[in-house]
Amino acid sequence: MIINELENHIEHLDNKLQARFNEEDNQGLMESKLDLDIWLNRENTRLSHLAKKRWLKDGDNNSKFFHAYLNAKNQKWINVMNLADGTSLSTPFDIHQAAVDFFKNISGQNNTRSLPNLDDLISPVISDADNFNLCISPSLEDIKIALFSIPIDSSPGPDGFGSSFFRACWDLVHGDQV
C-alpha cells in the first residue's frame, strides 16, 4: 500500500537526517510528508464514502448501538412506584413528589429540632470594628490600587482581558458596576 511505503520512506529519511544532515534528504523528507498527508486525506475520504454508502443501504437497521441505546434509555424510566404502605403511584408527578418527600424525611428537613446555643464556647477572633471594616464595599481608590498592583503580563481574567487592558482604559471602565 502506498501509505505504508511512504511511512517507511519517511522513517528512513528521518534516520538518515539524524545521522547526517543534507539538503537533498531534507527536501525528500518534506515531499514525502506532503505526499503522505495527501494520501491519508484520500483514504479518509474513501472510508467516509464507504460508511455513507453502507448507511444509505442499511439505514438505521445497521445501527446496533443506536437501538441498544434507545432500549437502555426506555428501561430507565420508572412508570410505577409502590410505597411501603402499599400505595401504588403511576403518574410522573406523584412518583416525583413521593421521591422528594422520602429524601426530605431522610435528611431531616421535615423534622424541626432546637439546637443548643454554643456561643459561649466560641470566642470572637475579629472585633466588631474589624468586622465592620471587612463588610464595607471598597472605595474606587482601593480598587484602582489593587488593579494597578497586578503585573501587566499576568494571565487574563475569565472575560479575556488582562490587567493591562483595564489600566489603559481605567478612565472608561472605572465607573462600571460588576
pLDDT tens-digit map of 90-120: 888 888 888 888 888 877 665 566 778 888 8
Domain-by-domain residue ranges, the chain? 2-63, 78-110, 136-178
CA–CA dist 176, 153 (Å, integer): 23
Question: Residues 150, 163: contact at Cβ < 8 Å?
Answer: yes
pLDDT at 164 over 80: yes
Q: Tens digit of pLDDT for each residue in 60-100?
A: 555 676 667 667 666 666 778 888 888 888 888 888 888 88
Q: In 3-state terms, what secondary structure has residue 160?
A: coil
Amino acid 149: pLDDT: 94
Q: Does the pLDDT value for residue 178 go beyond 60?
A: no
- Half-sphere exposure at residue 46, Cβ-oriented, CA atoms within 13 angstroms: 6
DSSP class of 117:
P
Say whether pTM exceeds 0.85: no
- Considering the chain, what percentage of its residues have pLDDT values greater than 90? 15
Please report the pLDDT score of residue 125 as a whole number: 84
- Distance in Å from the first CA to the final CA of the chain: 62
Burial class (CB in 10 A: 0-12, 13-18, 19+), 16: middle
- CB-facing half-sphere around the CA of 122: CA atoms within 13 A: 6
DSSP state of 89: E
Mean pLDDT for 11-33 is: 90
The pLDDT tens digits of the residues spanning 24-50 come to 988 998 999 999 899 888 888 888 887
* Residues linked to residue 81 through DSSP beta bridges, in sequence order: 89
pLDDT at 59: 63
The overall average pLDDT reported for the chain is: 82
